[in-house]
Structure 1
Amino acid sequence: MTFTTGSNPRAPSMEVYLDWIVRAWDALPKNQVINSFKVCGLTNAGDGSEDDFIHCFKAHGPIPEGCVVYADPPGERFTQCCKDTGIPCAETCVYPPPPPSAEEAVCLSDNFNPFVKCYTNGKNNRACCQGKGVEKVGKGQCLDLCDGTGTYTPDWKYWACQQVVNDIADCNSKA
């Protein structure tokens, strides 16, 4: 700590303040922040051309024009289903699922059918996925990820579905 000529403590630099703010923000549990708001809305393009920032607003507060608003975000249902089903890597249960780490890939392989059932809300969303051209990837195997009513064998062939993960997630999140 440095002092002024009058022996008073000198204020920290702006860099010190900003560093503290970033560390404090990063230390906050994400669920606590998300759950402190009742409604979230996407305020950017839904076609993936912009970053996927989610802006949250207090219930009954102003919501910017043009927002897509979910009163009960579908991702919460997906995550909760994975937790309730006992999938140990439930952190991957978000729309769209991120490319898994090696450890998560093993977990998802071991829990493939319960994951797909949660991902699709237990419904057959193939028609929606076909409308987005999902079947054109590989030999059509990606349609399996749109149907939570079937039983599938985990296979490397599903890695190709990362190409259409946003389309699949869009259909499944609306189920």
Structure 2
Amino acid sequence: MASADQQDDEFAACCTEAGFNCTNLCHYPPAAIGRPEMTCILDMFNPWIKCYANGKDNRECCKAAGVTGQYEKCLDFCNGVDPQYTPSSAYINCPEIRTAIVKCNHDSRIG
């Protein structure tokens, strides 16, 4: 089983390999995505999601954890399989459900 430090290291290494420079967003839990982080993430949105979700589709875990209804758009943060998303204000509610998303993506690295 991977340690929390190892999971962080894997997330950070993925970001480094992708050329992503916002290191505060490459650890579990990543920093909340405010305006400065969104500016940094704009050009690397999909590679970051791929790293964040460990290149896996964690949407079923996220749905079971409550990422549904008004948070359905936030499922994009749970799908690291070839993400093709566009940063937008549609993600405005996602910080409210962030804990569930972090847990599912983090736990996908265990095992």
Pick the TM interval, shorter chain: 0.7 to 0.9
Label 1:163 to 1:115 Cα distance change in 2 as closer, same or farther (>3 A).
same
2: CA distance between counterparts of 1:106 and 1:143? 21
2: CA distance between counterparts of 1:94 and 1:71? 10
Aligned partner of 1:162 among 71, 95, 101: 95
Contact 2:67 2:75 in 1 (8 A): yes
Question: Which whole-Å deviations, capped at 9, do the CAs of 1:110-145 have from their partners, x for residues lacking one?
Answer: 21000000000111000100110112334x101110
Contact 1:79 1:91 in 2 (8 A): no
Aligned partner of 1:118 among 51, 70, 74: 51
Label 1:156 to 1:134 Cα distance change in 2 as closer, same or farther (>3 A).
same
2: CA distance between counterparts of 1:97 and 1:169? 8
Contact 1:119 1:172 in 2 (8 A): yes
SS of structure 2 residue aligned to 1:111: helix
- Offset, 1:73: 2.9
TM-score computed with the length of structure 2 as normaliser: 0.85
Normalized per residue, the structure richer in strand is 1
2:111 is the alignment partner of 1:174: no
Contact 1:126 1:143 in 2 (8 A): yes
Question: Which whole-Å deviations, capped at 9, do the CAs of 1:68-93 have from their partners, x for residues lacking one?
Answer: x8275312211111111101112211
Q: Between Structure 1 and Structure 2, whose CA radius of gyration is higher? A: 1
Contact 1:137 1:161 in 2 (8 A): no
Normalized per residue, the structure richer in helix is 2
Label 1:72 to 1:89 Cα distance change in 2 as closer, same or farther (>3 A).
closer
Instruction: Give the alignment of 1:40-79 within 5 angstroms.
Output: 70=3, 73-79=6-12
Aligned partner of 1:103 among 30, 36, 54: 36
Label 1:88 to 1:71 Cα distance change in 2 as closer, same or farther (>3 A).
closer
Contact 2:24 2:30 in 1 (8 A): no
- Amino acid paired to 1:135: T
- Amino acid paired to 1:76: D
2:90 is the alignment partner of 1:148: no
- Amino acid paired to 1:121: N
Unmatched runs of 5 consecutive residues or more in structure 1: 1-68
How many residue pairs get matched? 106
Q: Which runs of 4+ in 1 moved over 3 A?
A: none
TM-score computed with the length of structure 1 as normaliser: 0.56
